[in-house]
Chains A and B, each alone.
Chain A
Amino acid sequence: MSTYSEPFPKHLVSYPRFIWRSLVLSTEGNLAFYAWMTALTAIALVGVNAWSHQVLEGMVVTDMSDHVSWGLYIANFTFLVGLAAGGVMMVIPAYLYDDKKMHDLVIVGELLAIVAIVMCLLFVNVDLGRPDRFWHIIPGIGRFNWPISMLTWDVLVLSGYLLLNLHIAGYLLYQRFLGHKPDKKWYIPFVFLSIVWAISIHTVTAFLYCGLGGRPFWNSALLAPRFLTSAFVTGPAFIIVSLLILQRLTRLEIGRGPIDTLTSILRITVVINLFMVLSEVFTEFYTGGTHVSAATYLYFGLHGHHGLVP
């Protein structure tokens, strides 16, 4: 371990100290912080309790049915994959274009990716009818239908993206804790890999849906590009809001630079996304026929049903 400035065994002592220090710091705050955390914990506990009732009594408690077999869980999962991928819009300016100011803040994007992926994995897991059989989908232990099933690809890309970001953010924070300058070869290759990987997670998630011939509304080649573009709208938007909150509540130096960069990105992606919506709406409604039913329902309601109409 010549790359580390200290012999490896030393990390056996300093790494646990780093974890402990992180734990202490992340539970430090004023009264408002503790009130906020308590409120969030209470909400999470309601969810945990609801889930355990669902496991015991069956997914009938979700009010989903054989007709609407996927609901909020999968919708949230999909949205959060997008949000995780959106974090890359900080990584690209910081590392690909050497934006110094963005570089100082890029860890916010990486941490956002970690949080979003963890939530994604939780959402897919609560959607399982048999959580006790989770081990069936672990490669090597269960029976992993790879490469045929897109869901197995999703397992690989999502856990890969989580590991990549855990490594990058973890390494940078650990070096900072040690007071060392991070060694580029321990994180730069992973950063570049994570850029490609971020694109892959939302592409695979789109492929989950657009590969289904029996679902005409999803069965469109536009789905993956649209997923990515909308992720690159919501991702930067969410980060801008987070940065503004961080600026208010912490001593972190944000400045206008990174926010302006993210705003420029968003201005372009939102137009591309709207263009894709237009293109989709035109193709559906101008063609007509059975294919338009899903879109008709979504925008206007169909056969007297309008539960999802905005």
Chain B
Amino acid sequence: MTEQQPESGLSRRTLLKGIGATLGVAAFAKALAPLTEWVDGLSVDAFLQKHYRELTPDELQTVLRRLEQETRDQYGADVHIDDLTPNPGVKFAYALNLSLCIGCRKCAEACHKENNHDRDTHQSYIRVLEMEQGSLDLEKGTAGYNHAVPAPGKYYMPVQCQQCNNPPCVKVCPVEATWKEQDGIVVIDYNWCIGCRYCEAACPYHARRFNWKKPSIPAEDVNPVQAYLSNRIRPQGVMEKCTFCLHRTRAGKLPACLEACPTGARVFGDVADPDSDIRWVLENKRVFVLKEELGTQPSFFYFFDV
């Protein structure tokens, strides 16, 4: 037992241990040094911010102004971030005419700009799959084609968030950072998401994206018309997804991808409105949904015109 050892031996060993421990702590602090720069970029208000649905109207306004200021500081862009809530009685749905789609990816490009996506990775919420005629097997589709379109023997299937009525991504989120709103749009509170990416694993449509790095956008390219739950520039390390451009559609406009489509393949609207285009398509076309067998009940429909 050490108690029986001579006093000098014990203290020498203790001294050596102390030196070792001190060196260890110093090395640990040095290893963590890059974190100081990261902590400097975090404000106390941002750290303590409550969940979107717990904010009072006043608190929400304070948050919106703070986010506008952060965009000015970090991107040099003057933006207006609004909070658009669902319009009562509205239920959005989307339909896509696969006979008309030519695979030009103008929708994906429009999404890229409208939603302030990272310019380096050319991110977009839409992937256009080049499919083999005679097959609906998504595994045979490829999003990486690079040739003139439409190519012979192929057809094109743009895929984005299906705004499921039974969304697997919402179920799995451990912190309720994502939820389905009254008008059917599945949204994310980018300031509440912890970045575990469980929703990305759960989504059968590959509709969700993670911000693997801080998005980079030149100030002049930033779309200044923004909403808290949709196209404001996302922070690093959180999930993001298509929101049917709620900053446009909740204000009575059409999604950016629809406006960009040169063939009129896209149809969007309120299914609760009997006179809407979407209602006409759902009533008169033989529509189908992707991966129906999974029971996700998408609000996104596909059809062929013939």
Contacts and interface: CB of A to CB of B under 8 A. Distances in A.
Interface of A: 24, 27-28, 34, 41, 45-46, 48-49, 52-53, 55-60, 64-67, 69-70, 124, 127-130, 132-134, 136-137, 142-145, 148-152, 155, 208, 211-215, 290, 293
Nearest to A134: B194
Nearest to B196: A128
B238 to A, nearest CB: 6
Contacts of B291: 214
A165 B165 CA distance: 42
A215 B177 CA distance: 22
Classify the secondary structure of B's interface with A: loop
B176 A66 contact: no
Given A57-B213, A59-B210, A69 B172 contact: no
A260 to B, nearest CB: 34
Contact of A137 (B20, B175, B209): B175
Interface residues of B, number: 55
Nearest to A150: B172
A49 B51 contact: no
B90 to A, nearest CB: 26
Contact of B294 (A148, A151, A213): A213
A53 B211 CA distance: 16
The residue in A24, A34, A55, A134 that gathers the most chain B C-beta atoms within 10 A of its C-beta is A55
B105 to A, nearest CB: 17
B253 interface: no
Given A129-B195, A145-B175, 4 more contacts: A128-B195, A130-B194, A133-B175, A149-B174
A129 B198 contact: no
B28 A133 contact: no
Contact of B168 (A58, A67, A128, A213): A213
Q: Which 7 A-B pairs have the closest CB atoms?
A: A129-B195, A214-B204, A129-B237, A58-B213, A151-B174, A60-B212, A49-B31
Given A45-B28, A132-B47, A55 B38 contact: yes
25 contacts: A45-B31, A52-B34, A53-B34, A56-B38, A58-B211, A58-B214, A60-B212, A60-B213, A65-B212, A66-B208, A70-B201, A127-B197, A130-B235, A136-B51, A136-B194, A137-B175, A143-B51, A143-B176, A150-B172, A151-B196, A208-B198, A214-B202, A214-B205, A214-B294, A293-B139
